[in-house]
Amino acid sequence: MKYQIAKNKRPSTNSSSPSQPFVSSSLSAFSNKGFRALIITYTLAMMADSIEHVISYWMMYQKFHSPELGGFAVLSHWLPFLFFSVPVGMLGERFDPRRLIQIGMVLFSLASIGWGYCFLVDGLQMWQAMALLVLHGCAGVFWHTSTQLLLHDVVNKEELPGAVRLLATARYLGILVGPGLGGLILIGFGPTYGIFLNATFYIPTFLWLVSAPYGPAFRTTARTFKIPVRGFSDIISTFKEVSALPVIFSMVILVGAASFFVGTSYQAQMPAFAEDLGHGDPGLLYSLLLAADAAGALFAGLVLSNKGLMRPRPKAALILAFIWCLVLSSFAFTHQYIIALTLLFVAGFLELSFNSMAQSLVQLNAPDEHRGRVIGLFNMFSLGMRAGAGVTVGLIGGLIGIHWSLGFAGILLAAIITVVMYIFNFKD
């Protein structure tokens, strides 16, 4: 059974925004009781995700002192998004996304319990660590993709852009707070009891979704279509069909290129940047650099949440991403620590802005009957392609230096964004 996302004539690329105006602020989404429950449980799960990384990475380092295992940890975290985002999105079209999120929470908890057992018996082996890392990565795919699908049932279309932005802010809040809290738990409870405690942080999300009044059973308009699940061939077919939708296609290309060439790879290289930039305590300098990036993103979420600033527009997302490239390239080549802090703060602000805007545009423009696989494709490019940045910034950085690799990656990405803007020629 064949399906088409767009059977009509290819839309004009001069249309750069959804047909309806969206002027409400993100705070209007937060007035929604269901969304408040969603974002609180999402933030808690995001912090638990970060806490598990802190404890498990520390114990792996103490046990194996293996850079290769550290590299595998990065790949195992992002490659499941690359391979399984579209299939999970397709499942979300056919089944209740609440149950898929609950599957993710169970997998997260099992991963934490598995780590705790290995720590308790002092028998952690390399293959066990790798298996638990893969389990954790797969849990993330069920969680992130299905949460974006459920969001459409929780908020209305006018609230959606603000809700997407607040979820992105919650992600950075979890990244900002989670490592610090994980360090405190590691010190206060030790790795074994700390990781067992972390397994309980996923329970609130699971319990809320047991009876949350959202999902297919609560939709006012019943879905009359059934879309076959055909496996990985759907990734190619979905990409081809999305190419007929300029707004969605341009945003998928944007986030995919940003993830592949830069992504979050510079954060993994931050200890080296901190050492090169200052003469003080490297640990403190490193922590402040990471905090500056996350704080910039958090500030963007708070500022842009007010009065509906920066409504979703493809051209605006592309311009913000272009400036982000220039800021990161400037950071790569600066030798002044204060300037580096400032640039990272601005980079965090811009990253959240263009990423949340791109995600809003995809969710607003995705056809209802194919929303799951379209959002899955977006996550595949936005998150799964981050594995490539380990090569463009990390591996090449080992050959020519991380300052040059990040700088050149930012410049190359800026050039690609320029080409995308020229091809699509969106008019605001």
pLDDT score of 89 more than 80: yes
Residue 423: exposure state from Cβ atoms within 10 A (0-12, 13-18, ≥19): exposed
Taking residues 395-420, what's their average pLDDT?
88
pLDDT score of 14 more than 90: no
Handedness of CA 15, 18, 21, 24 (dihedral sign): negative
pLDDT score of 176 more than 90: no
Mean pLDDT in the chain? 82
Quote the pLDDT of residue 328. Answer: 93
pLDDT digits (tens, 9 = 90+) for 215-227: 888 777 655 445 5
pLDDT digits (tens, 9 = 90+) for 369-405: 778 888 888 888 888 888 777 677 766 877 888 889 8
Quote the pLDDT of residue 392. Answer: 75
pLDDT score of 45 more than 90: yes
Quote the pLDDT of residue 119. Answer: 95
| Structure-block tokens of residue 428 | 């605001």
pLDDT score of 183 more than 90: no
Quote the pLDDT of residue 281. Answer: 62
pLDDT score of 5 more than 60: no
pLDDT digits (tens, 9 = 90+) for 289-321: 777 887 888 788 777 766 556 677 899 999 999
Taking residues 141-161, what's their average pLDDT?
87
Quote the pLDDT of residue 280. Answer: 59
pLDDT score of 6 more than 50: no
Which residue, chain included where needed, has tokens 């592949």?
260
Quote the pLDDT of residue 75. Answer: 79
pLDDT score of 46 more than 80: yes
Residue 203: exposure state from Cβ atoms within 10 A (0-12, 13-18, ≥19): middle
CA atoms of 190 and 343, how far apart (whole Å): 36
Quote the pLDDT of residue 21. Answer: 42
CB neighbour list of residue 255: distance below 8 Å, 6 or more residues apart: 355, 358, 359, 378, 381, 382, 385
pLDDT band at 282 (very low <50, low <70, confident <90, very high): low
pTM: 0.74
| CATH 1.20.1250.20 is the classification of domain 25-219 | yes
Taking residues 185-198, what's their average pLDDT?
92
Domain boundaries, the chain: 25-219, 230-428
pLDDT band at 26 (very low <50, low <70, confident <90, very high): low
Q: Are 144 and 379 in contact (CB under 8 A)?
A: yes
Count CB-CB contacts under 10 A for residue 37. Answer: 17
Q: Do domains 25-219 and 230-428 have the same CATH topology?
A: yes
pLDDT band at 364 (very low <50, low <70, confident <90, very high): confident
| Assigned superfamily of 230-428 | MFS general substrate transporter like domains (1.20.1250.20)
Taking residues 79-103, what's their average pLDDT?
89
pLDDT score of 22 more than 60: no
